[in-house]
């Protein structure tokens, strides 16, 4: 799996762009002692912070800060790692980065470069080195990026749980149970003349059933983790002046969208991410759906329909103060008809009747009553959105997960179901049973990176920060 570039030493600024109290330049590779001597003019004790000047080629201090040296394999990447912690100005850090590259190219006592082939790291390359050197598995490496990107407290805690190995341990337990079951099946295939029924005496049916139950539990928590990471996209749609922008503002708790009594005020999408019980909801306010009065509004309406077709859930907002007007009801019915034709049946449409504060009595049948103005009914709407998203209130034991993890677990589930079918007919299909168990194990190993491709690694780590 290792590529030629994985042998190069790498360097990068490991802190976020901009100014800060502290900035870090990190180097990873083999044999960093000589370059640390060139930069700090002194030897560094392993895993001990040393306050020292960082010197340019003429021996003049660029800055003063802390230098830390972690000899491999006892480091994050598994290679030698040198960290220079300086003041966090972008100019200072760029000077240090340039000095590292310059020092690596200068000749040492043997007339060879101190650190040949040192280059600036690619996005996520430090974490990729850690994975390739077995310091963490692929699920843990992904959890690093997820922890950085976490938009809610629940997502951060779940990412920490995955980073600590909780998700990987679940996968390893499933893998070990699969390997044991495969061993029994392979033994039966290898010794067909034996009278002993290995599978019956070892309770292969019971083992497979327990495996499927454990998988269902892991899959359920992975779905919750994926929801914490990705959230759901909720689009507010309806006729002009139904209160869509007011509802967005009420859900967000801030005046994000302009609200007026003039129809067509909202001309483009307005998006805000909110959280409900730690689940991120990407709420999108759209232009009122009607025959556009002018070209600009027509563009806004076209974008509204585009957002609707990409939604995970749609809030179809109705105006209670106009619900008895025949023309208004006819326009709502036309929107509903068009919406049904554009949306997948799996996308829920929640009918929301707004302006409950402006009417004395309302009976609307299907849908939720609320007032975006005074907030009544918002809690019911939030609970309904979580229900539709598939969220369960108890987050204990939930680990952060990605769509690819859920897809892999679904593949395992499919192979185990096929294995159950072949096990039921026993001797006539033992070879097919063995193959389904093998495929299930491979699907599991894709999650932790034990069975993966360089292309997948490239996609995953390219989304990381440079220096991480």
Domain holding 170: CATH number? 1.20.120.430
Res. 439: pLDDT tops 90 = yes
Q: Which parts of 325-429 fold into alpha helices (H)?
A: 326-342, 378-389, 403-424
**Do both 40 and 98 map to the same domain?**
yes
pLDDT of residue 260: 43
Residue with the bigger pLDDT between 259 and 467: it is: 467
Q: Are 354 and 368 in contact (CB under 8 A)?
A: no
Q: What residues contact residue 213 under an 8 Å CB cut-off, 6+ apart?
A: none
pLDDT of residue 290: 80
The 10s digit of each residue's pLDDT in 320-375 is 888 888 998 898 889 889 888 888 888 888 999 988 888 876 566 678 888 888 88
Concatenating the DSSP letter of every residue in 180-235 gives: HHHHHHHHHHH-TT-SS-HHHHTTHHHHHHHHHHHHHHHHHHHHHHHHHHH-EEEE
The number of helix segments (H) and strand segments (E) in the chain equals 15, 12
Q: Which segments are annotated as binding site?
A: 26, 83, 135, 241-246, 260-266, 285-288, 354-357, 468
Res. 440: pLDDT tops 90 = yes
The 10s digit of each residue's pLDDT in 368-404 is 888 888 888 899 998 888 888 778 765 567 888 888 8
Domain annotation covers residue 313: yes
Domain annotation covers residue 55: yes
Average pLDDT over residues 27-44: 90
pLDDT of residue 461: 76
Banded pLDDT at 286 (limits 50, 70, 90): confident
CA atoms of 313 and 130, how far apart (whole Å): 39
CA atoms of 284 and 26, how far apart (whole Å): 40
For the entire predicted model, the pTM comes to: 0.75
Domain annotation covers residue 462: no
Res. 251: pLDDT tops 50 = yes
pLDDT of residue 240: 87
**Do both 222 and 192 map to the same domain?**
yes
* Count of structural domains, the chain: 3
Q: Which segments are annotated as binding site for GTP?
A: 241-246, 260-266, 285-288, 354-357
Q: Which segments are annotated as binding site for (6S)-5-formyl-5,6,7,8-tetrahydrofolate?
A: 26, 83, 135, 468
The 10s digit of each residue's pLDDT in 56-77 is 989 999 999 999 999 989 999 9
**Do both 377 and 288 map to the same domain?**
yes
**Do both 205 and 221 map to the same domain?**
yes
Phi-psi map region of 124: left, alpha, beta (phi>0 left; psi -120 to 50 alpha) = left
What is the side-by-side order of every strand in the sheet holding 50-55?
A: 50-55, 61-70, 80-88, 20-29, 10-13, 119-120
Phi-psi map region of 343: left, alpha, beta (phi>0 left; psi -120 to 50 alpha) = beta
Res. 186: pLDDT tops 50 = yes
**Do both 325 and 307 map to the same domain?**
yes
Q: Which segments are annotated as binding site for Mg(2+)?
A: 245, 266
**Do both 274 and 359 map to the same domain?**
yes
Average pLDDT over residues 112-123: 85
Domain annotation covers residue 181: yes
CA atoms of 173 and 196, how far apart (whole Å): 28
The first and second tokens of residue 274, run together, are 């909110």
Of 337, 359, 389, the residue at which a domain comes to its end is: 389
Res. 247: pLDDT tops 90 = no
Q: Which segments are annotated as binding site for K(+)?
A: 241, 260, 262, 265
b/e per residue, 55-84, with b = 16+ CB within 10 A?
bbeeeeebbebebbbbebeebbbbbbbbbb
Q: Which residue has the tokens 């430090």?
A: 126
**Do both 315 and 352 map to the same domain?**
yes
- What CATH number is given to the structural domain containing 62? 3.30.1360.120
**Do both 411 and 373 map to the same domain?**
no
pLDDT of residue 410: 95
Domain annotation covers residue 395: no
Q: Is 394 helix (H, G, I), strand (E, B) or coil?
A: coil
Average pLDDT over residues 231-250: 87
pLDDT of residue 92: 94
* β-strands 119-120, 10-13 pairing: parallel
The first and second tokens of residue 33, run together, are 């002692």
Domain annotation covers residue 42: yes
CA 418 to chain centre: 30
Range among 18-22, 157-161, 168-172, 427-431 rated most confident: 168-172
Q: What's 75-90 look like in SS3? A: CCCCCEEEEEEEEECH
**Do both 114 and 46 map to the same domain?**
yes
Domain annotation covers residue 248: yes
**Do both 244 and 374 map to the same domain?**
yes
Res. 194: pLDDT tops 60 = no
Which structural domain range is residue 95 located in?
A: 4-136
């Amino acid at each position: 799996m290792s590529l030629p570039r994985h042998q190069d030493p790498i360097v990068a600024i490991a802190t976020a762009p901009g100014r800060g109290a502290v900035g870090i330049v990190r180097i990873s590779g083999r044999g960093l002692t000589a370059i640390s001597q060139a930069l700090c003019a002194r030897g560094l004790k392993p895993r001990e912070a040393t306050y020292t000047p960082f010197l340019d080629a003429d021996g003049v201090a660029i800055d003063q800060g802390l230098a830390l040296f972690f000899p491999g394999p006892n480091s994050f990447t598994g290679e030698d790692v040198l960290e220079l912690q300086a003041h966090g100005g972008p100019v200072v850090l760029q000077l240090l980065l340039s000095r590292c590259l310059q020092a690596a190219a200068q000749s040492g006592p043997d007339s060879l470069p101190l650190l040949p082939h040192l280059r600036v790291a690619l996005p996520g390359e430090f974490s990729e080195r850690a994975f390739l050197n077995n310091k963490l598995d692929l699920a843990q490496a992904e959890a690093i990026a997820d922890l950085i990107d976490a938009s809610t407290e629940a997502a951060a805690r779940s990412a920490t749980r995955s980073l600590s190995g909780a998700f990987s341990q679940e996968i390893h337990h499933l893998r070990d149970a699969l390997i044991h079951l495969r061993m029994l099946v392979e033994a039966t295939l290898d010794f067909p003349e034996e009278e002993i029924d290995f599978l019956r005496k070892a309770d292969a049916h019971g083992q497979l059933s327990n495996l499927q139950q454990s998988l269902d539990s892991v899959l359920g928590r992975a779905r919750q983790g994926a929801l914490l990471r990705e959230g759901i996209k909720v689009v507010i749609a309806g006729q002009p002046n139904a209160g869509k922008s007011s509802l967005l503002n009420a859900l967000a708790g801030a005046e994000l969208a302009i609200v007026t009594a003039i129809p067509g005020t909202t001309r483009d999408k307005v998006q805000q991410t909110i959280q409900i019980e730690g689940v991120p909801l990407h709420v999108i306010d759209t232009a009122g759906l009607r025959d556009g009065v002018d070209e600009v509004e027509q563009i806004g309406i076209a974008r509204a329909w585009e957002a609707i077709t990409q939604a995970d859930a749609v809030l179809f907002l109705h105006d209670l103060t106009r619900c008895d007007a025949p023309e208004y009801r006819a326009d709502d019915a036309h929107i509903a008809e068009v919406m049904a034709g554009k949306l997948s049946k799996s996308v829920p449409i929640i009918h929301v009747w707004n302006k409950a504060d402006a009417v004395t009595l309302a009976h609307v049948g299907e849908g939720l009553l609320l007032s975006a103005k005074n907030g009544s009914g918002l809690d019911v709407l939030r609970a309904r959105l979580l229900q539709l998203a598939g969220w369960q209130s108890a987050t204990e034991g939930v680990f952060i997960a990605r769509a690819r993890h859920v897809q892999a677990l679904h593949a395992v589930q499919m192979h185990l179901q096929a294995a159950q079918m072949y096990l039921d007919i026993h001797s006539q299909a033992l070879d097919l049973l063995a193959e389904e168990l093998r495929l299930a194990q491979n699907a599991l190993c894709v999650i932790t990176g034990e069975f993966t491709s360089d292309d997948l690694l490239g996609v995953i780590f390219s989304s990381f920060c440079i220096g991480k």
